[in-house]
Chains A and B, each alone.
Chain A
Amino acid sequence: MRPAILLLVLSVLAAAPANAQFAFAPPAVDLTGEWGPRVYNTHMDIGDYTGMPLNEEGRLRAQSWHPDQLDLPENLCRPHPIDHGLRVSVSQLRITNELDADTRQPVGLRLHVWWQEPEQVIYMDGRPHPSPNAPHKWSGFSTGRWERNTLVYRTTHLKEAYLSRTGVPKSPKAEVTTRVHRYGNLLTMTFIIHDPLYLTQPYIRESSWILDPNQVIPPFPCEITPEGTIVPAFKVPSFLPGQNDVLQDFPTEYGIPFEAALGGAETLYPEYIKKMKTMKVAPRTTTTHYRRTQ
């Protein structure tokens, strides 16, 4: 073949991958590296559902949660779902390129977080999401695309898990759309959580990391103790409806109307500040609750 014709053929082939199945979307921005978290998440108190657009079902599930559930043997090494794991302390993050095991061609990005070591692969090669009946996992199944310089990825097939560290539930029907934006050495993720079972509207929250090339993420060994835990066998601690006797602690200690602490879409907007002035607030028992040991 004459060189010029060969060049023509190669030229056409070079332009072809965008139309091919599973064509890899090359990165608009390099997100790979070690990222140190800036953790400012709240919702550390039982009964703190503030800012969450919960519906009645979600609230009921949250109120049945008992902190001793964390000590059930099956929960000792239970990771958070990746969208929550990326937010709770200490979410040191490593982002690497994901290569196909056979062809060694790039297919996406891999996220690794320290606590319980969740791994999330974001496929950028155009593959479809699996059947709704496919297994659900802690990190779900994610596909991404570039919107200009922003990585936007959608995660489905997440296991039932939590929205907060104090038992606010997220259903297996939930899906999460995440926007990842790099501003120089700052990385911001915006999580848009859609849960038709427990939320009345998408729940949006953000987290940021600082590029830290010297960060070393240690291993996170976790074993279930063979001798059991402090929770007696065959017992699942929980509160029956209306019997959670610690729900009042959070609003009382912070001077918040009890109703406001229960969350809901209305509570997210400025108008609610006026409404709270008309609500009853229990006499405060302390003004230094925030100084407690976490």
Chain B
Amino acid sequence: MGRRVGLFAAAVTLALSASVDGQGRGGAQDAPPATPRAAAAFDMTGYWVSEVTEKWRYRMLVPDKGDYQMVPLNPEGRRVAEMWDPARDQATGEACRSYGAVGLLQVPGRLHITWQDDNTLRLDTDSGKQTRLFHFGGSPPANAEPSWQGSSAAIWGGGEPRDRRDGFGGPAQDPKGNLVVIPAQRKEADYLKVTTTRMRPGYSQKNGIPYSANALLEEYFDLFTDPYTKNTWLVLTQVVTDPQYLIEPLVMHAHFKKLPDASGWDPTECRADEPR
């Protein structure tokens, strides 16, 4: 009898804990989602527009040559930035340098995000008419030729196993000593991380702030609805690591407002001497 009550108690514990904390997207016992598309932490698809609230004069205008305030350039980076010549870029077919993966989402414009297939998220921009492909479930081909948008590997981030401690330093366990697995102990993915390499050298800012072919771009996308207007927002944090031109990683941000449709979509070619 006592053993049965004990088992009942353990069952009640698990059930109550699950009911209290298991409000998310399913417990650890759930079958794993079949595809990254099905496992999406949030729905990024649709049309979005840049909202430029910071670094306005660097994004809504073409800044002056040599204006690299707030960018941790090393001496070589400053030397290269001082050589910026938009007329030469335009004439030599290099006008897309500021529309590469690092600078693209800093350029004001609209985004159209779709699933190309179950493993590939596609991001198109009207500014510069560029396309980025975020590949889930493995790395893009290692022998891919460097390109403006590079090769991007994507994961839904934040879903790492939570440390299961019982508050006294030991592993949480049931009365039988088995490790307790309850939904509350599994974190849920809640952001998109995109890692991009194999980029052609480009500009992180319109006025020729350089990044090299060896640059590493890590991006984190967060999505939320603001409590005041109920608009949906996509917030991007970018980290650029490039020892060739930077003394430390460059951190940049941008955010985008969800649009109901494609209205305002205004495709433009890459232009070296225009803000978009």
Which of A's residues lie within 8 Å of B, judged by CB?
Answer: 2-5, 7-8, 11-12, 14-15, 18-19, 28-29, 38-42, 48, 50-53, 147-150, 152, 154, 177, 179, 181, 183, 186, 188, 190, 192, 194, 201-208, 254-256, 260, 267-273, 276, 287-288, 290-291
Contacts and interface: CB of A to CB of B under 8 A. Distances in A.
B228 A202 contact: yes
Contacts of A8: 5, 8-9, 12
A205 B109 CA distance: 18
25 contacts: A4-B3, A4-B5, A11-B16, A28-B187, A40-B54, A40-B55, A40-B251, A42-B57, A51-B53, A51-B56, A147-B190, A148-B24, A149-B187, A188-B222, A188-B237, A190-B255, A192-B227, A206-B255, A268-B53, A269-B49, A269-B108, A271-B264, A276-B61, A290-B64, A291-B66
A125 to B, nearest CB: 15
A204 B8 contact: no
Contacts of A204: 51, 53, 226, 233, 235, 255
A260 B191 CA distance: 34
Given A4-B9, A5-B5, A270 B50 contact: yes
Given A11-B13, A11-B16, A273-B60, A205 B50 contact: no
B276 A192 contact: no
Contacts of A202: 226, 228-229
Contacts of A7: 5-6, 9-10, 175
Contact of B251 (A208, A256, A271): A208
Interface in B1-31: 2-3, 5-6, 8-10, 12-13, 16-17, 20-21, 24
Contacts of A272: 60
Contacts of A183: 157, 191, 193, 220, 237
Interface string B223-267: 010111100010101010000000000011101000000001010
A12 B20 CA distance: 12
Q: Enumerate the 5 nearest inter-chain pairs by beta-carbon distance, A residue then B residue, closest first.
A: A15-B16, A50-B56, A4-B5, A51-B56, A148-B190
Nearest to B6: A4
Nearest to B227: A177
Contacts of B187: 28-29, 148-149
A276 B12 CA distance: 66
Interface residues of B, number: 65
A268 B54 CA distance: 9
Nearest to B157: A183
Interface in B38-60: 41, 49-58, 60
B140 interface: no
A204 B237 CA distance: 14
Contacts of B108: 269-270, 273
Nearest to A15: B16
B5 A149 contact: no
A203 B53 CA distance: 7
Interface string B190-201: 110100000000
A12 B6 contact: no
A18 B18 CA distance: 11
B91 interface: no
Contacts of B103: none
Given A205-B54, A206-B253, 13 more contacts: A4-B6, A8-B5, A149-B191, A181-B237, A186-B239, A190-B224, A201-B229, A206-B255, A267-B60, A268-B51, A269-B51, A271-B264, A290-B67
Given A188-B253, A270-B49, A273-B108, A149 B61 contact: no
A88 to B, nearest CB: 13
B158 A149 contact: yes
Nearest to A4: B5
A208 to B, nearest CB: 5
Contact of B220 (A148, A186, A288): A186
A42 B67 contact: no
Given A11-B13, A204-B255, A150 B229 contact: no
Contacts of B21: 18
B127 interface: yes
Contact of A11 (B10, B52, B64, B233): B10
Contacts of A190: 222, 224, 235, 255
Contacts of A179: 222, 224, 235
Nearest to A37: B251
Contacts of B255: 190, 204, 206
Contacts of B49: 269-270
Task: Please indicate which of the listed interface residues A5, A202, A256, A291 has the most CB atoms of chain B within 10 Å of its own CB.
Answer: A202
